[in-house]
Chains A and B, each alone.
Chain A
Amino acid sequence: MTKDNMIQVENLTKMFGDFTAVNNISFEVGKGEVFGFLGANGAGKTTAMKMLIGISEPSHGNATVAGYNVLTQAEQVKKNIGYMSQRFSLYNDLTIKENIVFFGGIYGLSSADIKEKSQAMINELGLHDMADSLVGSLPLGWKQKVAFSVALLHNPKIVFLDEPTGGVDPITRRQFWEMIYKQANRGVTIFVTTHYMDEAEYCDRVSIMVAGKIEALDTPKNLKHQFQVDSMNQVFLKLARNIE
């Protein structure tokens, strides 16, 4: 593995009984890259991601994340990654501030550190008025922005985002992607799954999973060229249809 690869995946497989959810996938993601992980529902995206973040054990194969093996050094991996799940991952019955304090606390940040970071985060998101209101009372778009910021609290090298913009309006989605780019420019590696093909165009590289396998992996430009179409949407449809 080269020094610059933050994620290195070799022949990763996950089976549930006879069903192969993830079938022998291999790829790598470089430092500071925005990596789009695409696929239809049930193609195995989330399962693959769960293996990379150390909460699901691979059946075969190997993966290294932030320089640590997901099988043998899962706890080291967890220290170096941020994760924002498909389902909303903050506590609705705690305020924004309390959520920050809690997650900062369990990542082992000092209380001075937590104070400073939560202030910075509230400033950046412009949440002064809402810092003490319950997360459950926020609109979805706001929640997702806060969740993303909380996932970055402990300065992870990689952030995994599982459909972070599902159900979010186009303006907030644009703002969300601006946040993603900001982090990528600071050298944070972004691993993101999405169903929005316009978002796929924003990614540095895109992989498309179909039935547990990665069927395409390249920059959006090259993919469009390879499939001789104008948009990622058509690339996706062509791939998904061909396999079926």
Chain B
Amino acid sequence: MNIIRYIIQKEFKQIFRNKAMLPIIFVLPLIQLIILSNAATFEVKNIKFAFVDNDKTSLSRELVEKFEASTYFNVVAQFPSAKQAGMAMLEGNVDVILEIPSYFERQLLKNEKADLSVIINAIDGAAAGVENVYINQIVQQFNKKALVELSLFNRSGNQPMNIETIPSFWYNETLNYKTFMVPGILVLLVTMITLFLSGMNIVREKEIGTLEQINVTPIKKHQFIIGKLFPFLVLGMVLLTVGLIISKLLFHIPIVGSITLMYLYTIIYILVILGMGLFISNFTDTQQQAMFIAWFFMVIFILMSGLFTPIESMPQWAQLLTEFNPIKYFVQVMRMVMLKGAGLSDIYPQVLKTLVFAIVMNALAVMSYKKVS
């Protein structure tokens, strides 16, 4: 026990003595949290909107005004012809083109039906989908109003049927994307720092030769590993705390669930990551190699974590792969506990799986750590 204490003492001294380390631990995560939380948004705003009005009637102008009034669209230009509008899109000056056909008003009055042509730049498919929804919403609103007005003109007694859905968004009433993103980004932050630091720490001792010196001492494998990993567990928890405070103070993220539960889960989770870090460092000889491998896994884990893209929309095989992604569970747990106030029984499957990973990962790490070559 005493021996472990000496190692922990030494690790903390080295961490706090390393001038490059402190900013990495405390300043970088802060910047990351602030920048990413404000930038990583799924909302599509400032859509560059252009239109071609072949009708030039009061009704067509009213439709364009609807777009002008919307906060999502910036009306950037009006083009005399669809061809010129197409050129503008090719040059990247325009995201959406609305073409109003000739006789738009007349057809609407006569047939109560008219076609609009909408062209959306779909290089970013996800954004195009969102833009399509916005456009439909605006056109529908316009439609309703037009129909009411038209039915006033046209004597016909039958009012248009009106079925409206009124959504209520639970757990994030205002659909604030920050509420959704911040818990997830907190996960990235804790994961990246603990994985990189633990992975590189032991390799660093290999590089400078002190690991050989340690291997010549009668120190037990488990003593060395516990002593090495414990400081990073503490660091991870400190990071989580700093992150939670920022989330609360800066982003006003509701923390509905039990903080104790969050901390307990995070401890198990960090054990998985530290086991990975150790495992990586056992198979690499330089910090550079360790960094590349750690980064390789990080990228896959992050992209397949459900943080940026929903796991439900991945192909079957990819969904299967995400079962082995610890970040996925951490993201789920953080969102569930922070935003929904989930209890232990709700996150039981995640806790269990993470625990299994922690045991397997650390067992592998301890087995692959060899004092003898």
Q: Complex: how many Å from CA A93 to CA B373?
A: 27
Asked if B209 contacts A55 (CB within 8 A), the reply is no
B158 in contact (CB, < 8 A):
no
Asked if B212 contacts A89 (CB within 8 A), the reply is yes
What are 23 pairs between A and B in contact, CB < 8 Å? A55-B212, A55-B216, A55-B371, A56-B372, A56-B373, A75-B218, A78-B218, A88-B209, A89-B210, A90-B210, A90-B213, A91-B14, A93-B14, A93-B17, A94-B13, A94-B14, A98-B13, A101-B6, A102-B6, A105-B5, A105-B7, A106-B6, A106-B7
- Contact indicator per residue, chain A 81-115, by CB within 8 Å of chain B (1) or not (0): 10101011111111000100111011110000000
A54 in contact (CB, < 8 A):
yes
Among residues of B, the one whose C-beta sits closest to the C-beta of A98 is B13
Residue from A57, A76, A83, A87 within 8 A of B373 (CB atoms):
A57
Residue total for B at the interface (Cβ-Cβ under 8 A): 26
The CB with the most chain A CB atoms within 10 A, among B218, B219, B373, is that of B218
A74 in contact (CB, < 8 A):
yes
- Contact indicator per residue, chain B 344-373, by CB within 8 Å of chain A (1) or not (0): 000000000000000000000000000111
Q: Complex: how many Å from CA A87 to CA B207?
A: 10
A209 in contact (CB, < 8 A):
no
A53 in contact (CB, < 8 A):
yes
Q: Name the A residues within 8 Å of B9 (CB-CB).
A: 101-102, 105
Other than the given A74-B371, A92-B208, A106-B214, 13 more pairs (CB < 8 A) read A55-B373, A74-B372, A85-B209, A87-B209, A87-B212, A93-B14, A94-B13, A101-B6, A102-B6, A102-B10, A106-B6, A107-B217, A108-B218
Contacts A81-B216, A105-B2; A57 near B210 (Cβ below 8 A) = no
B165 in contact (CB, < 8 A):
no
- The smallest beta-carbon distance between B276 and chain A, in angstroms, is 25
Asked if A83 contacts B216 (CB within 8 A), the reply is yes
Residue from B2, B215, B218, B373 within 8 A of A79 (CB atoms):
B218
Q: Complex: how many Å from CA A103 to CA B218?
A: 11
B316 in contact (CB, < 8 A):
no
Q: Which residues from chain A sit less than 8 Å from chain B, CB to CB?
A: 50, 53-57, 74-76, 78-79, 81, 83, 85, 87-94, 98, 101-103, 105-108
Ranked nearest first, the 7 interchain pairs of A and B with the lowest CB-CB distance are: A105-B6, A87-B209, A89-B213, A83-B216, A78-B218, A79-B218, A102-B10
- Contact indicator per residue, chain B 1-24, by CB within 8 Å of chain A (1) or not (0): 011011101100110011000000
Residue from A50, A78, A90, A92 within 8 A of B217 (CB atoms):
A78
- The smallest beta-carbon distance between A193 and chain B, in angstroms, is 15
Asked if A91 contacts B10 (CB within 8 A), the reply is yes
Asked if A93 contacts B216 (CB within 8 A), the reply is no
Q: Name the B residues within 8 Å of A55 (CB-CB).
A: 212, 215-216, 371-373
